[in-house]
Amino acid sequence: MNFGVIGCGKMGSALVGGAMRTGVLTPESVWGYDAVAAATTEFCRSTRAQSATSLQELADHCDTFLLATKPHQVRDVLQQLGSALQNKPALVISVAAGIPLAVMEECLPPSVRVIRTMPNTPALVGKGATAYSLGSRALPDDGIAAATLFSAVGLAISTPESLMDAVTGLSGSGPAYVFVMIEALADAGVRQGLARTDAIQLAAQTLLGAATMVLDTGLHPAALKDMVTSPGGTTIAGIAALEKCGIRHALHEAVAAASHRSKELSSL
């Protein structure tokens, strides 16, 4: 597989870097192209990949492509890529938010298969969560390739495209909700007398540790909560305060609002 990256920003660099660290990709098999030449240069410097000066050159060298451009650029880029491929069999894996599979397939020749994905920013530190959906022309091996690529930077799951907006509302936008929680917990710690640096580290490590317990034990979060909630203790007092303030409803509303906005963007 010769792998071409279209859009050499943070996400493209993170995915390629993770895939190289795990041996999924090698520098010799990766080519990068960005309309901003400086971005291509930095991508190739950091990953040791090869540099392409045009989509045509990228298409000449590669058979699998990571589409990591801004959503408003997708249609134009895909049409150019389709012309450059000239009916050559290829796979395009898109990380562009809100662009349906049908739109991408419409822009590309029948010889090109498409996969739509929704990664999130923790992929930058190898702790991402990515959902992917196969296009109508994609092959089972294409799904394996996508799972392998995104597993290099975290969790990867296959999902129907009809649920991609829900994924966007939960895990795509979710890191921002967690950052708000960490900030709020740290502020609360400062209010109780902790130093700001200590409060941020304690809050962040607490969320990291709790999330790791959910993933590693396989237990339901409610069961893990009950394990640390003693009768009449400090934890149940804190949980009662959270419930009184409507934390569950607030998170429901956040995911619903982000999912709704994703649907709106998909229809533009």
| Domain coverage including residue 97 | 3-164
Q: Judge whether residue 268 has pLDDT over 80.
A: no
What's residue 15's pLDDT?
92
Residues 58 and 89 in one domain: yes
Burial class of residue 63, CB neighbours in 10 A (0-12, 13-18, 19+): middle
Across the chain, mean pLDDT equals 95
Burial class of residue 64, CB neighbours in 10 A (0-12, 13-18, 19+): buried
pLDDT band at 82 (very low <50, low <70, confident <90, very high): very high
What's residue 201's pLDDT?
98
Helix H, strand E, coil C: the string for 45-94 is HHHCCEECCCHHHHHHHCCEEEECCCHHHHHHHHHHHHHHHCCCCEEEEE
Residues 159 and 176 in one domain: no
Q: How far apart are CA 255 and CA 261, in angstroms?
A: 10
- Report the domain count for the chain: 2
Residues pairing with 30 in the sheet: 3
Residues 138 and 222 in one domain: no
Residues 54 and 156 in one domain: yes
Tokens representing 54? 């045009």
Where among 140, 164, 188 does a domain terminate? 164
CB 100 within 8 A of CB 262: no
Mean pLDDT across 105-126? 95
Residues 179 and 247 in one domain: yes
**CATH value at residue 41:** 3.40.50.720
Mean pLDDT across 120-135? 95
What's residue 71's pLDDT?
86
Where among 137, 164, 191 does a domain terminate? 164
Residues 130 and 8 in one domain: yes
Residue the block writes with tokens 């890529």: 81
What's residue 267's pLDDT?
76
What's residue 151's pLDDT?
95
**Each residue's pLDDT tens digit, 185-231:** 999 999 999 999 999 999 999 999 999 999 999 999 999 999 999 99
**Each residue's pLDDT tens digit, 142-173:** 999 999 999 999 999 999 999 999 999 999 99
What's residue 214's pLDDT?
97
**Each residue's pLDDT tens digit, 7-64:** 999 999 999 999 999 899 999 999 999 999 999 999 999 999 999 999 999 999 999 9
